[in-house]
A and B are shown apart, each in its own frame.
Chain A
């Protein structure tokens, strides 16, 4: 990863932070995007102590103007982009008939629309010299669950969009890959507002040792460190004990 510049969204915690740590440890310069500035600054300081080049950018990926400004800042401070990790996402599970319309819209905005805008901003820089777009989707992009209708919808959308983009960009030097993790020990599951679903979810994965964020970071590293001829299009990974 020496000499490569990686942009990571949702970098303040979980998979995003773990990916930033791993790519920086492997020699990449990293641009960290997230809303929570304090967390970003703390992570940037930690990585700089190890000698990594880091740019922390407070940005809400659902705000196209903020993402565009982040693109300009990355261009001016790091000069290039070789790798975009679309990681920011939310999982607000509930039965469809609970009518949590605000949460549906939030998931569509963060999990799908923001991925389009972020990719649009960084794609010209990626095409200029080649690179990788890594989209962090979910098992929910492959397997459908109760109480997950809209989350499933957003992750299926990411999967379909990602695959079409991969085909459009095949041969341009830009590889597009999808990573679909099962249950990971992150904040993702703590944001449900629907209490009954919280309990059902906890019961569904009771006794399952969850993936660590670093397991997903390893998948990102494996994907992006392939030689130019080889494109890892998709990695599906679950806790060893997770069935569906």
Chain B
């Protein structure tokens, strides 16, 4: 199976940690030039250095996916490495809580980052992507396919991504852009560490403590597999869970 990405230019959002950082490493190892986007400039700069030291082409650009102006600056900056033909919409937050706890600010943050941020980022890079074709890989979640208590607003944001992504997939066929979804279950990342609701945090730990959950590199493998298919073949969706997660 050919997994070569030589000559490709990939933009990865949320590249400062977790799935984003692992994906940047994996894509670079397989020949892509990688543009690292995140708010935490110091983190992506050290990842850029790590990749450059390994002989890869990498560029760190501090950007907030909820801020269109910062994305427009990133679009211009990214062109230093060439035309962007692969966008990995990875940045996301999972602030679980019971709905009646009314964590309104957290709802808004999830909607901003998980949905609006994906739309703004895709919009910003769309001219590059459609100018010769490419791939958009949207990192959603199992929560875009099934619901659970404490997950209502997170479910809503991921449902939103799934619906938007599949409509966009059909619209962009004419432009030779493939749009795919990756839906991971529990992954060993910072994601769950930001949960402030005591009841939600406790339930999350009860479900997954002691389970061998996914590593960020497992999701990076799925992104690599999706993006490296021959032009006639589009992997539209990959659902991946820890083997022990029912």
Q: CA–CA, A243 to B168, complex, Å?
A: 10
Q: Of the candidates B178, B214, B231, B239, which one forms a contact with A234 in the assembled complex, judged by CB atoms under 8 Å apart?
A: B239
Q: Interface SS of chain A: helix, strand, loop or mixed?
A: mixed
Q: Does A233 contact B (CB under 8 A)?
A: yes
Those of A160-192 within 8 Å (CB) of chain B: 166-167, 170-171, 173, 175
Bound together, the chains give a CA A17 to CA B235 distance in angstroms of 21
Residue B51 interfacial (CB < 8 Å): no
Known pairs A222-B225, A229-B212, A232-B238; A240 contacts B233 (CB<8 A): yes
Question: Are A215 and B230 touching (Cβ within 8 A)?
Answer: yes
Interface status of B243 (Cβ within 8 A of chain A): yes
What does the 1/0 interface line of B205-220 toward A look like (CB < 8 Å)? 0000000111100100
Min distance, Cβ B51 to any Cβ of chain A, angstroms: 23
Prevailing SS type, chain B contact patch:
mixed
A231 sits at the interface (CB 8 A): yes
B178 engages A170 (CB within 8 Å): no
Would you give the shortest CB distance from A3 to chain B, in whole angstroms?
19
A209 within 8 A of B: yes
- Residue among A22, A226, A235 making CB contact with B235, cutoff 8 Å: A235
Query: A236 to B144, alpha carbons, bound, how many Å?
Result: 15
**Contact of A78 with B by CB under 8 A:** no
A158 to chain B, nearest CB (A): 15
- Given the complex, which residues of B lie within 8 Å of A222, measured CB to CB? 1, 225
Please judge, given known A-B contacts A221-B1, A222-B1, whether A231 and B233 are in contact too, CB under 8 Å. no
A231 with B173: in contact, given A209-B232, A226-B218, A240-B234 (CB under 8 Å)?
no
Q: For the side of the interface on A, what is the size category?
A: 35 or more
List of A residues within 8 angstroms of B244 by Cβ: 170-171, 229
Question: A227 at the A/B interface (Cβ < 8 Å)?
Answer: yes
* Alpha-carbon separation in the docked complex, A231 to B238 (Å): 11
In this assembly, does A238 line the interface, its C-beta being within 8 Å of a C-beta of chain B? Answer: yes
Contacts of B241 in A (CB 8 A): 231, 233
- B228 CB to nearest chain A CB (Å): 10
**B interface footprint on A212-234 (CB within 8 Å = 1, 0 otherwise):** 10010011011000111111111
Chain A residues, CB < 8 A from B215: 229-230
Q: A170-B245, A211-B233 in contact; A230/B238 too (CB < 8 A)?
A: no
B221 cross-chain contacts in A, Cβ below 8 A: 226
Q: Is A239 an interface residue (CB 8 A)?
A: yes
Complex Cα distance, B166 from A244, in Å, reads 10
Most B-side CB within 10 Å, residue of A22, A221, A228, A236:
A236
In the complex, what distance in Å separates the CA atom of A226 from the CA atom of B238?
A: 13
Q: Are the CB atoms of B173 and A240 closer together than 8 Å?
A: yes
A241 interface hit (Cβ, 8 Å)? yes
Are A229's CB and B232's CB within 8 A?
no
Provide the residues of chain B in CB contact with A218, threshold 8 Å: 1, 229
Contacting residue for B239 out of A167, A170, A221, A233, CB 8 A: A233
Q: Across the A-B interface, give the 4 residue pairs with the lowest CB-CB distance, nearest first.
A: A234-B239, A236-B237, A231-B243, A229-B212
Given contacts A229-B244, A232-B240, A233-B240, 6 further A-B contacts (CB under 8 A): A212-B233, A227-B218, A229-B218, A239-B233, A240-B231, A241-B173
A and B contact pairs by CB, cutoff 8 A, 7 listed: A22-B1, A173-B243, A229-B212, A229-B244, A231-B241, A234-B237, A243-B170
